[in-house]
A and B are shown apart, each in its own frame.
Chain A
Amino acid sequence: MLIFKEIQLLPEIFLGISIIYLIIHGTFISVNNKYLLIQNSVLYLSVLIISLFCFLLINNTIECNDFQIFNNTIIIDYLGSFSKILIAIVSIFCFLMIQRYLTVQKINYFEYSVLILFALLGIFFICSSNDLITAYLAIELQSLSFYIMAALKKDSAFSVDAGLKYFILGAFSSSLFLFGSSILYGVSGTTNFEDLKNLFFWVYSSYDCTQDASDYTFVKDVFINGGLIQFALSFIFVSLLFKLAIAPFHLWSIDVYEGSPSSSTFFFAVVPKLAIFILLVRIFYSSFFEYTAKWRYYIVILAVLTIVVGSFAGLEQKKLKSLLAYSSISHMGYTLIAFSTGTFEGLQMLFCYLFLYMIAGLCIWSIFLMLQLKYKYVKKQNKDLADLSSLSKSNNILALFFSTVLLSIAGLPPMVGFLVKIGIFLVSIEVSMYFVSIVSILCSVISTFYYIRIVKIMFFENSTAGKLYQPIKSHISIVIVCLFYFLLFLFINPTLIYLFSYKITLLLTMTMM
């Protein structure tokens, strides 16, 4: 009974309006009541908003068809909806987890939740953007709130430093994106993915049919050799890879992850990667699939470089947060390998890996935020690895969970992380990238070392003075246990993750045709 199909965007519109209401509500209450601390209530309101958003999204039943709305600049399809639901659920968990941390760290601004909501709005728009302008604006919305979230712990010089670095480098990468988009617009006269796809797909195939090539010099120069288009695409690529912290562009991420408050790092690490990858898929698989052979090579090289950097540099880290940052870098490398295969299975494994990465990341960072030392915690927000020593004695179950999740993301065989990782290696072998898979497997072995070192510190390191941790609230512990069991469930029944990713990929390739 939809009269106009723009109603499909209702969830995002609802989210945007709710944010504005939330700001008004927060401002009035906090200013009128002598700066009343309404941090927690706003946080729970945000959870409510996201849940309602989720509900609206699920209500929008789209199965096999996709809608292009708002002058074809927004696409509503299964990939976008599923990812949005996943991101929304993950962010609900994030909200629940960071609440305690914020209280302890005295980040008493209700704007924090609002900022996260803004970021989420941006991420949702990235997921469903079908146009370079929309994508740019959405990325900006997301990044801008991330910059502020990174710098929000004002009494910490590290946090301010992180925010500043993030801001400047992020602005730099956005400028690259804009530059690439403008060249693309200059060459093709459109910014719409759909138009680009039609243009390049048909031009390419029609060119092959023509006999007389002299009439088509323009076509040949612009589209077949595609010099300028590739030039533009490289810029867009670099800016998006910057957001994903791929190897030569990864340096910001360590500083930012380490400096910003852990709650923000949690968000940076877990939530936005999927959305960026969706954008990459939309640009490079839907619109410019004809150019796959031309960008594949350097993407592969970057992926290997990323894995190498992520695995090697992680060995030298003494801080848990930067170690996890390097771990996330190397994971992005694996996903990039799957991305660079350019095959159906590659895409499927890409989504599989990303879903699992999000869930495992959620587990790890939640546990990370749980580990609050009883003494001196407020001053020292960044944990040494040694702080984890004999965690198994003070909180055995938590140590068990932590080590299980670590082993899972390390890709040890009886875990679900192993299944998706081996899937990535398999798809890379299927397209004859033997060297790449060998190097990445070796690096995976190396990176296993630092995961296992954490486990060793937790279980076998005897410290003279045991660290005492704050007790964990019961409802939070229930959430953690749920997450953990979900991970275990995925191990027992990985079909769930395979099926969803298969469906997504299938529908995506259907629409690509």
Chain B
Amino acid sequence: MIVNLFFYFFSFVLITSSLMTVFSQNSIYSVLFLVLSFVSSSSILFLLECEYVSLIFIIIYVGAIAVLFLFVVMMLDIKTISLVKDSLKYFPFGSFIGIAFLIEILLVVPSTFEAINPYNISFLCNFHLDWFNKLDYFTEIMSVGHLLYTDYLIQFLLSGNILLLATIGPVTLVLIRSIKTTKKQITFKQLSRTYNSVLYI
């Protein structure tokens, strides 16, 4: 019961914060809402008893990526401009596409799942107790580890390769080898920015 209430609460927060991420005019606010959505989604994962994934989610997305985003947004010289006029122009067609998309999803998903769950009328639909798990305890991190090093070995190696590539690539892109590079931060310019010309918080 409580779990279900939490679930709906976090889902609501997740949806709202994602919407706000898109709609907010200020990039800083957008990033903060993004953080909120990450947190709420990890809470949902926690409710679904995926402790490991939810914690990893928080560590990586909130701890690393969101902070990085914040830094980047604050460093960049983005002028705030009113997007109201533009968004009004795009609103009708964009909303039409969005609603069409939503309807398509809503048409498909319920038709697939409504018949199978015997509890779907009840409020307890998300509560499910696996007695086997209670008896033969096996933490999620263990099972993930087992799977990664046995069944999904090659995928693990592949992701390792991707990570390696992801380190090499940016380094290659930003490494200054020749004198002539276009994108280069000018420290003086960075420091001499005034309050008015920057994003407001």
Contact = CB atoms under 8 A, between A and B. Distances in A.
Question: Is A in direct contact with B (CB under 8 Å) within the complex?
Answer: yes
Given A154-B182, A157-B182, A228 B109 contact: yes
A145 B165 contact: yes
Contacts of A385: none
Contact of B112 (A108, A133, A144, A228): A228
Contacts of A228: 108-109, 111-112
Contact of A221 (B111, B164, B177, B181): B111
B173 A118 contact: no
Given A111-B168, A151-B173, A155-B182, A227 B158 contact: no
A379 B195 CA distance: 40
Contact of A140 (B107, B108, B162, B183): B162
Interface string B68-92: 0000000000000000000000000
A115 B164 CA distance: 11
B16 interface: no
A152 B109 CA distance: 43
Interface stretch (B45-53, B123-131, B149-157): B149-157
B178 interface: yes
B1 interface: no
B24 interface: no
B177 A137 contact: no
B132 to A, nearest CB: 17
B185 interface: no
Contacts of B168: 23, 111, 114-115
Nearest to B116: A218
B172 A20 contact: no
Interface in B128-174: 150-155, 157-159, 161-162, 164-166, 168-169, 172-173
Contact of A227 (B111, B164, B175): B111
Contact of A145 (B112, B115, B153, B169): B169
A125 interface: yes
B180 interface: yes
Contacts of B116: 218
A489 interface: no
Instruction: Indicate the member of B165, B175, B178 with the most A CB atoms within 10 Å.
Output: B165
Contacts of A118: 161, 165
Interface in A6-20: 9, 16, 19-20
A488 to B, nearest CB: 39
Given A109-B177, A134-B154, A221 B162 contact: no
Contacts of B175: 109
A235 to B, nearest CB: 11
A134 B109 CA distance: 26
A221 B155 contact: no
Contact of B164 (A20, A131, A151): A20
A187 B152 contact: no
Interface residues of A, number: 45
Given A141-B158, A147-B169, A227 B177 contact: no
Given A144-B169, A154-B181, A133 B157 contact: no
B161 A121 contact: yes
* Of B154, B168, B183, most A-chain CB atoms within 10 Å: B154
Contacts of B169: 115, 144-145, 147-148
Contact of A125 (B109, B112, B158, B172): B158
Contacts of B183: 154, 160
A137 B112 contact: no
Nearest to B156: A137
A80 B158 CA distance: 18
The 6 closest A-B pairs by CB, nearest first: A148-B169, A71-B151, A228-B112, A137-B158, A111-B172, A70-B154
25 contacts: A16-B157, A35-B177, A73-B152, A109-B172, A109-B175, A111-B168, A115-B165, A133-B152, A134-B154, A134-B155, A137-B159, A141-B161, A141-B165, A145-B165, A145-B169, A148-B165, A148-B173, A154-B182, A154-B183, A155-B178, A218-B115, A227-B111, A228-B109, A231-B105, A231-B108
Given A9-B154, A19-B161, A109-B175, 11 more contacts: A16-B161, A70-B154, A73-B154, A111-B172, A125-B158, A134-B158, A187-B112, A222-B112, A227-B108, A227-B111, A228-B112
